[in-house]
Structure 1
Amino acid sequence: MFEHIDLNHLLATYGYWAVFLGCVMEGETILILGGMAAHQHLLKLWPVIAWASAGGMLGDQLLFWSGRYFGARLLPRLKRQQAQIKRVTGLIERYPSTSVFSVRFLYGMRLVGPMVIGASGLSPLRFSLLNMFGAMVWATLFVTGGYWAGEALERLFGNLKPYRLPIALGVVVVVAVVAMVLHLRNKRKLRQ
């Protein structure tokens, strides 16, 4: 079934859009895969970083404005995220600028964080500037990490072309397992 998929064509045609949309929604997995695709010369490194930065920034801007206009009604309804909401609220009160920059790097805060920041009353201009800087650093770190992972895998296996789909699926599985472990650890901490 998978032998008929032309991954090169799909990446060349939709790769940058996939990076952009993936980063609007969440991002880390698609960033790593985008970096690996750049290493394989299927995509170019700097456009991957630029599209990822733009997608990450747009996603957080949308969440910020959702929090700004609907946060008072929406945040209390997010029963499962109350611990994250409380954590982000504490970060914003103590370190407003740092929290805007770092919230995308904290597990479980990427979606809730910008909404809480929007509801906090932080200046939209201040959020936008810090969000842009944070998105660029975040995209650069994860994309170059993917690029270096591609380099390491190529040294191990040689030509990666026959292994591209299994590697992509492997990255997705590894990221999912790490996310599940972190989620379960956070859940255990909340029970204590």
Structure 2
Amino acid sequence: MTLAAIAAAASIVETFTRIADDAATYGYWAVLLVVAGDGVFPALPGETAIVAAAVLAAEGSLSLGLVILAGAAGAIAGDSTAYWIGRGGGGPIKRTVTRIAGAERLAAAERMVRRQGPALVFTGRFLPGIRIAINLSCGAGQMGYGRFLLFDALGATLWSAQAALLGYFAGKAFADQLWVAFVVAFAVTGIVAAFVTVKERKRVRAERAAAEAERRAVDAPPQGGGGGTV
């Protein structure tokens, strides 16, 4: 094994050990706050925070049930914030979040919410790329908050539970090497996220193509000629 490989391995161990220490130090509040922030700023590692805390739950530092609860509460808080930003008028916050969501994703989300409504809100937590656009669209008039909250809470709880269980079982499987549990859990999370991202992009492109086809159909002149008068 080369010195470079040894250094890289040591760096990986150090990184995941630090993640474990931070998760143990800040616990449930860290999960809740990071996941809530992820609902508005997707660059934050919401799912990673749940997985990290659940790995620690496997070795007894935290409670799995409370990790799931903290993740679900944070998801609901973050999604609701995006909803109310969508409901509000203009302003720098809404413009910033809209830019983060992306105009193309927003247009696709509006069409999808009109067709699928509650089902899309429920599954939105599993769609990291378009999730914020869905919640903004719902707030912008596509759905009342009570209905949104119900289906978002169901989806958030399921999403938090699956992320936590992934981390928990990885922690159990590699109980003697906690950093390996982190590597395995995050690798699986990354693979799933990459697959979902590819599917999301295809869906957004399909929605854009459908919208363009509808516009062309509306703008096209009527077919067939009318008869002359006698």
**Corresponding position of 1:23:** 35
Q: 1: CA distance between counterparts of 2:157 and 2:96? A: 27
Deviation larger for 78-87 or 43-52: 78-87
Amino acid at match of 1:14: Y
**Corresponding position of 1:100:** 121
Q: Which has the larger radius of gyration?
A: 2
Amino acid at match of 1:16: Y
**Corresponding position of 2:132:** 111
Shift of 1:100: 1.2
**Corresponding position of 2:176:** 159
Q: 2: CA distance between counterparts of 1:145 and 1:38? A: 11
Shift of 1:89: 1.2
TM-score (norm 1): 0.76
| Higher RCO by CA contacts (8 Å cutoff, separation 6 or greater) | 1
Unpaired runs of 5+ residues, structure 1, are none
Q: 1: CA distance between counterparts of 2:36 and 2:29? A: 11
More helix by percentage: 1
Q: Percent identity?
A: 27
Q: 1: CA distance between counterparts of 2:162 and 2:197? A: 22
CA deviations 1:5-64 (Å, max 9, x no partner) are 887764443111111112112321112212211112111000101111110000001000
Q: Among 56, 61, 66, which residue is 1:47 paired with?
A: 66
Shift of 1:134: 1.4
Matched, 1:137 2:154: no
Asked whether the 8 Å contact 2:35–2:71 carries over to 1, the reply is yes
Deviation larger for 18-27 or 57-66: 18-27
Q: 2: CA distance between counterparts of 1:68 and 1:137? A: 26
TM-score (norm 2): 0.65
Unpaired runs of 5+ residues, structure 2, are 1-10, 39-45, 210-230
Specify whether residues 118 and 75 from structure 1 end up closer, same or farther in structure 2 by C-alpha distance, changes over 3 A only. Answer: farther
Amino acid at match of 1:143: A
Aligned length in residues: 183
Q: 1: CA distance between counterparts of 2:138 and 2:61? A: 37
Asked whether the 8 Å contact 2:54–2:164 carries over to 1, the reply is yes
**Corresponding position of 2:53:** 34
Specify whether residues 98 and 71 from structure 1 end up closer, same or farther in structure 2 by C-alpha distance, changes over 3 A only. Answer: farther
Specify whether residues 16 and 174 from structure 1 end up closer, same or farther in structure 2 by C-alpha distance, changes over 3 A only. Answer: same
**Corresponding position of 1:89:** 110
Amino acid at match of 2:119: T
Specify whether residues 75 and 85 from structure 1 end up closer, same or farther in structure 2 by C-alpha distance, changes over 3 A only. Answer: farther
Q: 1: CA distance between counterparts of 2:19 and 2:49? A: 15
Shift of 1:99: 1.4
Specify whether residues 135 and 62 from structure 1 end up closer, same or farther in structure 2 by C-alpha distance, changes over 3 A only. Answer: same
Asked whether the 8 Å contact 2:106–2:133 carries over to 1, the reply is yes
